[in-house]
């Protein structure tokens, strides 16, 4: 085969050489003419580019040209062995280094302003545009300012008592493991969890229906008063007509040890680009990384659709403490090896390289990254205790543990997301006669979320905000699809890998 191929190639080369020899004089003459014409055209083109430097129509071409001149200069410098690019390398470099910088500063300010305006932060967008107004020659800044002024005239202030709230637990990544690995746990996940596929469809449909994420702190703001009772004031959320604000929250984003074998993400981490993402440790010990749970999935979605979030709002994350936070085993029980549940001991056995201090340091970083990214953090009690049923004494012991062992890691919060959704009060307004409310108020908690399937349910008290939440989970979708239909079409999002019927409580 090889010989034959060489023969064929040799034959082809010979034919080409013969054809070349047969080239007539007039062909050579034509070639010289074409080359000459091309050279003249190139000179004319180059002259045109130089003379049209300041004309608006050629601006982009010109800046590209200047950028490539600068790049060539840098390459030449490297090739000649001189590592330092100095300013006195010739006028070409000096010109090219100033123009594109102005252009790119204007372009990046415009991009930023567009993104701010898309997330309804019009005033910030305007101030960004005004800072570069005099430098922009394209007219785009003026055009955007006019557009923003028009949109601002149409804005409608949201009625904060009409804002719904939906919540999720950790999302199921591997449905076959979650639903079939263990019978009792599988039934529980089928009731209270949502799959990745369902979540993605829900967010897309909510976006299509003009829903916009807002935060609890955007809904209302708490201010201290001299007598210590404090005051809660309704927030101003201004949206274009037709846009519908909603709040989202996540319960128990702890990646509990008991869930390890069941096909969920196992940790929230910060990747090498500084972005929040998930680690998923599989049952064979291998680890994969990516968007496997609500935080990175929603981050990805908002990145793609900035108009899904009001000024960067994401959701509130409810955290217990007994098993650590975000998948880090930060509770002292892990360090002291005290009071460990069997699944926690198994987790320790599986992770002989566990470093308590390192987990605490990582969890702190993740908490700040979450806040930076628009997420709010909330207490969910230390031991996932029913705050209504618990005695006052046990309620205090549990909450003091949370403040001592969790708040020290995740930072201060003023949000309570009730475990089991059970509120310390009735539907009537909280008063200081309610000793659990009084205790929570005294310890800096002013935002309270229970579970209520009547959406919306919002109570603006004198010194607190209370909101009911609806669970977008298997139980609710299967038994009460109508209660979710304002948000999405349950028959479309429902994951057909769920064993049916979804078990009742
Ligand atoms: Zn919970």
- Say if CB 250 and CB 261 are below 8 A apart: no
- Average pLDDT across the chain, whole number: 85
Average pLDDT score over residue span 487-495: 98
| Distance from the alpha carbon of residue 250 to the mean position of ligand 1, in angstroms | 9
Please name which of 268, 286, 285 lies closest in space to residue 277, comparing C-alpha atoms.
268
Q: Is the pLDDT of residue 266 over 50?
A: yes
Q: Is the pLDDT of residue 27 over 80?
A: no
Average pLDDT score over residue span 304-319: 98
Helices (H), 119-220: 122-132, 140-154, 175-180, 183-192, 196-208, 216-219
Options 3.30.390.30, 3.40.50.1860, 3.20.20.370, 3.40.50.300; which CATH number does 160-493 get?
3.20.20.370
Positive or negative CA dihedral for 34, 35, 37, 38? Answer: positive
Higher pLDDT, 424 or 71: 424
What is the predicted pLDDT for the residue at 367? 98
What is the predicted pLDDT for the residue at 73? 30
Residue 92, number of CB atoms within 10 A of its CB: 13
| Distance from the alpha carbon of residue 405 to the mean position of ligand 1, in angstroms | 18
Maximum separation of any 2 CA atoms in the chain, in Å: 109
- Say if CB 218 and CB 467 are below 8 A apart: no
Q: What does the buried/exposed string (b/e) look like for 158-181 if buried means 16 or more CB atoms within 10 Å of the residue's CB? A: bebeebbbbbbbbbbbbbebbbee
- Say if CB 443 and CB 466 are below 8 A apart: no
Domain boundaries, the chain: 52-80+88-154, 160-493
| Distance from the alpha carbon of residue 323 to the mean position of ligand 1, in angstroms | 12
| Distance from the alpha carbon of residue 328 to the mean position of ligand 1, in angstroms | 17
| Distance from the alpha carbon of residue 169 to the mean position of ligand 1, in angstroms | 8
| Distance from the alpha carbon of residue 381 to the mean position of ligand 1, in angstroms | 9
What is the predicted pLDDT for the residue at 108? 93
- Say if CB 260 and CB 281 are below 8 A apart: yes
d(CA 338, CA 146): 64
| Distance from the alpha carbon of residue 344 to the mean position of ligand 1, in angstroms | 18
| Distance from the alpha carbon of residue 170 to the mean position of ligand 1, in angstroms | 10
| Distance from the alpha carbon of residue 251 to the mean position of ligand 1, in angstroms | 5
Q: Is the pLDDT of residue 16 over 60?
A: no
| Distance from the alpha carbon of residue 470 to the mean position of ligand 1, in angstroms | 13
| Distance from the alpha carbon of residue 166 to the mean position of ligand 1, in angstroms | 14
Average pLDDT score over residue span 459-482: 97
- Residue 342 pLDDT class (50, 70, 90 cuts): very high
- Say if CB 370 and CB 276 are below 8 A apart: yes
202-226 pLDDT, tens digit each = 999 999 999 999 999 999 999 999 9
| Distance from the alpha carbon of residue 409 to the mean position of ligand 1, in angstroms | 19
| Distance from the alpha carbon of residue 256 to the mean position of ligand 1, in angstroms | 11
| Distance from the alpha carbon of residue 397 to the mean position of ligand 1, in angstroms | 18
127-165 pLDDT, tens digit each = 999 999 999 988 999 999 999 999 999 999 999 999 999
| Distance from the alpha carbon of residue 384 to the mean position of ligand 1, in angstroms | 6
| Distance from the alpha carbon of residue 70 to the mean position of ligand 1, in angstroms | 58
375-397 pLDDT, tens digit each = 999 999 999 999 999 999 999 99
Across 24-28, 99-103, 316-320, least confident range = 24-28
Residue 503, number of CB atoms within 10 A of its CB: 15
Across 73-82, 250-259, 383-392, 456-465, least confident range = 73-82
Q: Which long-range contacts (CB under 8 A, 24 or more apart) does 300-307 make?
A: 301/203, 301/207, 302/213, 302/374, 305/207, 306/115, 306/118, 306/119, 307/118, 307/119, 307/120, 307/212
| Distance from the alpha carbon of residue 448 to the mean position of ligand 1, in angstroms | 14
Q: Is the pLDDT of residue 37 over 70?
A: no
3-state secondary structure 30-43: HHHHHHHHHHHHHH
| Distance from the alpha carbon of residue 1 to the mean position of ligand 1, in angstroms | 70
| Distance from the alpha carbon of residue 362 to the mean position of ligand 1, in angstroms | 23
| Distance from the alpha carbon of residue 318 to the mean position of ligand 1, in angstroms | 7
| Distance from the alpha carbon of residue 361 to the mean position of ligand 1, in angstroms | 24
For the chain, give percent helix, strand, coil, nearest 5: 50, 15, 35
- Say if CB 445 and CB 416 are below 8 A apart: yes
| Distance from the alpha carbon of residue 348 to the mean position of ligand 1, in angstroms | 23
- Say if CB 212 and CB 245 are below 8 A apart: yes
What is the predicted pLDDT for the residue at 103? 81
**Residues 6+ positions from 355 with CB-CB distance below 8 Å:** none
DSSP conformation class of 160: G
Average pLDDT score over residue span 327-349: 95
Structure tokens at 208: 């299509």
46-98 pLDDT, tens digit each = 444 433 333 333 333 333 322 232 333 333 333 333 333 333 333 333 434 44
What is the predicted pLDDT for the residue at 89? 36
- Residue 488 pLDDT class (50, 70, 90 cuts): very high
| Distance from the alpha carbon of residue 415 to the mean position of ligand 1, in angstroms | 14
| Distance from the alpha carbon of residue 52 to the mean position of ligand 1, in angstroms | 66
Q: Is the pLDDT of residue 116 over 50?
A: yes
Higher pLDDT, 441 or 68: 441
DSSP conformation class of 407: I
d(CA 81, CA 70): 17
For the CA atoms of the chain, what is the radius of gyration? 31
3-state secondary structure 56-79: HHHHHHHHHHHHHHHHHHHHHHHH
């Amino acid at each position: 085969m090889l010989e034959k191929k060489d023969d064929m190639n040799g034959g082809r080369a010979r034919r080409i050489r013969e054809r070349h020899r047969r080239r007539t004089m007039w062909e050579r003459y034509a070639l010289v003419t074409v080359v000459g014409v091309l050279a003249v055209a190139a000179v004319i083109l180059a002259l045109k580019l130089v003379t049209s430097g300041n004309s608006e129509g050629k601006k982009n071409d010109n800046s590209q040209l200047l950028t490539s001149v600068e790049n060539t200069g840098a390459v030449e410098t490297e090739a000649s062995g001189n590592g330092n690019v100095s300013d006195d390398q010739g006028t070409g470099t000096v010109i090219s280094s100033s123009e594109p910088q102005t252009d790119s500063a204007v372009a990046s300010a415009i991009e930023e302003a567009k993104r701010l305006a898309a997330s309804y932060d019009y005033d910030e967008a305007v101030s960004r545009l005004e800072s570069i107004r005099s430098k922009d020659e394209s007219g785009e800044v003026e055009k955007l300012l006019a557009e923003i002024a028009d949109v601002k005239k149409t804005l409608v202030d949201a009625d904060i008592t009409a804002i719904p709230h939906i919540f999720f637990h950790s999302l199921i990544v591997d449905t076959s493991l979650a639903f079939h690995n263990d019978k009792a746990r599988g039934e529980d996940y089928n009731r209270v969890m949502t799959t990745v596929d369902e979540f993605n469809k829900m967010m897309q449909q909510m976006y299509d229906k003009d829903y916009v994420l807002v935060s609890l702190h955007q809904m209302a703001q708490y201010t201290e008063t001299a007598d210590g009772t404090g005051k809660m004031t309704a927030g101003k959320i201004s949206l274009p007509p037709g846009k519908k604000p909603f709040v989202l929250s996540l319960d128990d984003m702890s990646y509990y040890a008991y869930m390890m074998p069941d096909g969920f993400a196992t940790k929230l981490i910060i990747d090498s680009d500084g972005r929040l993402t998930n680690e998923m440790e599989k049952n064979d010990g291998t680890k994969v990384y990516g968007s496997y749970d609500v935080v990175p999935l929603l981050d990805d979605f908002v990145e793609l659709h900035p108009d899904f979030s009001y000024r960067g709002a994401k959701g509130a994350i409810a955290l217990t403490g007994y098993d650590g936070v975000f998948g880090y085993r930060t509770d002292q029980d892990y360090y002291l090896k005290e009071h460990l549940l069997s699944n926690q001991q198994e987790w320790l056995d599986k992770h002989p390289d566990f470093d308590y201090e390192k987990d605490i340091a990582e969890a702190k970083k993740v908490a700040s990254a979450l806040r930076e990214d628009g997420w709010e953090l909330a207490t969910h009690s230390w031991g996932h205790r029913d705050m209504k049923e618990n005695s006052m004494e046990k309620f205090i012991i549990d909450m003091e543990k949370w403040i001592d062992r969790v708040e020290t890691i995740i930072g201060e919060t003023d949000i309570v997301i009730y475990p089991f959704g059970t509120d310390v009060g009735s539907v009537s307004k909280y008063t200081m006669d309610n000793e659990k409310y009084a205790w929570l108020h005294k310890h800096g908690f002013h935002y309270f979320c229970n579970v209520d399937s009547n959406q919306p349910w919002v109570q603006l008290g004198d010194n607190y905000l209370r909101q009911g939440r609806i669970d977008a989970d298997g139980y609710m979708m299967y038994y009460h699809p109508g209660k979710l239909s304002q948000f999405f079409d349950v028959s479309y999002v429902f994951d057909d890998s769920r064993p049916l019927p979804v078990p009742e409580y």
